[in-house]
A = this chain, B = another copy of it.
């Protein structure tokens, strides 16, 4: 589908004057920019602008605002809920060439980057400084995109999410105005928290062009361990106790038996095909040892197997690569199929019940759907492996998804812990937050983007 009515010829000429060959109209490029990594159909923009500076984004927005042209910001295209679909046509602003690391302040543990810098790029750059940026959603996403979707991932149980790790932003507003939020102080009570308003707004309130981020010292000691369980419940219950005990584990990841099977096949490994926890411990030598001992005791109480350890960097990388490849391993389980990833997050006391009931629903449906979870946060994912042409299968997946979301919300949880709303979760927002809160989101959207040009149709459900 391609809507070709919003980027008029006057605007085209003005944008070409501004961007030259960095304004691209090719169908292949446009199509690639109209779909993330998920089941949502391609909705291509009419053109893609490859931008290089905040000022350029501002100039584009000024023109688009004048000509009523919708705009969809784009980082690496790894979004999962249709965030980049150009449902109203218009222009895609690709920020991937805004990849400059502007400053690293090692004394203050912070850095400033352009929005197109990816998480692997910043960590590669930091390698020799003894610092790292912990947020790790799996994909090598852009930091701007990660902020826009309030991403988190495997390290969030210890280091928080993008919400906690963005100190400030540069944002281009709907009319082209450039706004700076936050600062470099670790805390501030100076006015409304504009930074947090943009983090998670999915490009619907403004376009993030620069970020000030927290960094952390690479821990003196890091070790990783894998441990399999007789059943899902035992694995999840042990996590609950670990979290309640306040042990500062850096990562606690659950992979169910279906997912372990997929990972073994895809990454050529031979872990037990059973519910499995992946742990990572950060700290001093002594504290890592103590954390691992305490976790080991809890895990043993729940019948967990012995830890398989990985302490050397390359072993740890291999282990976590397997975890990160879970998505690709999953979609590799069937040919001619697509992944439909979904996630919810619940209070940790409801995690076992929620995961087990979801597993039961999936098995009853006959769908193939591995499960993984950032279980330390109460967050878990289902990856439906579906044939998008098979309507019955797609309906079944939609039904399991809806039931799981309903259950999570009923437990005081959320319809998405880290993937974001995009198009896919819009229909659940009123159920989760109530009419009042959603009306308030709509008020904010209308106040900041009265013409509705910024990533239209995302996040806030229509009245």
Question: What residues make up the interface of A, taking CB atoms closer than 8 Å to B?
Answer: 105-110, 149-152, 156, 160-161, 163-164, 173, 177-181, 183-194, 196-197, 199-201, 205, 216-217, 219, 240, 243-246, 248, 284, 286-287, 290, 345-349, 377-379, 408, 411-421, 425, 428-429, 432-434, 436-441, 443-444, 446-448, 459-460
Contacts and interface: CB of A to CB of B under 8 A. Distances in A.
A379 to B, nearest CB: 6
A180 B110 CA distance: 33
A408 B188 CA distance: 12
A348 B197 contact: no
A416 B246 CA distance: 31
Contact of A186 (B190, B244, B246, B378): B378
B347 A421 contact: no
Contacts of A441: 191-192, 194
Given A156-B187, A444-B444, A433 B193 contact: no
A412 B149 contact: no
B149 A419 contact: no
Best-surrounded residue of A201, A415, A436, A459 (most CB of chain B within 10 A): A436
A219 B197 CA distance: 33
Contacts of A149: 189
A245 B107 CA distance: 10
Best-surrounded residue of A191, A348, A439 (most CB of chain B within 10 A): A191
A151 to B, nearest CB: 8
Contact of A187 (B178, B181, B184, B379): B379
Contact of A189 (B186, B243, B419, B446): B419
B200 A219 contact: no
B187 A440 contact: no
Contact of A347 (B105, B378, B420): B105
A447 B443 contact: yes
A185 B373 CA distance: 14
A106 B348 CA distance: 11
A240 B192 contact: no
A432 B183 contact: yes
Contacts of A110: 347
A185 B417 contact: yes
Q: How many copies does the complex hold?
A: 2
Nearest to A445: B192
A379 B188 CA distance: 9
A436 B240 contact: no
Given A108-B347, A181-B437, 10 more contacts: A107-B347, A179-B434, A189-B420, A190-B416, A191-B421, A191-B438, A192-B201, A193-B193, A197-B197, A440-B448
B188 A416 contact: yes
B105 A184 contact: no
B109 A192 contact: no
A193 B185 contact: no
B163 A345 contact: no
A453 B441 CA distance: 20
B109 A415 contact: no
A447 B290 CA distance: 52
Nearest to A205: B192
B418 A191 contact: no
Contacts of A428: 190
7 contacts: A105-B349, A185-B377, A186-B348, A186-B377, A192-B205, A443-B447, A444-B447
A108 B239 CA distance: 12
A109 B242 CA distance: 12
Given A240-B107, A349-B105, A434-B180, A193 B191 contact: no
Contacts of A418: 187, 189
A459 B105 contact: no
A12 B149 CA distance: 47
A441 B191 CA distance: 8
Contacts of A415: 190
A107 B180 contact: no
A176 to B, nearest CB: 11
A213 to B, nearest CB: 13
Given A107-B240, A177-B436, A191 B185 contact: no
Contacts of A412: 183-185
B416 A189 contact: yes
A332 to B, nearest CB: 26
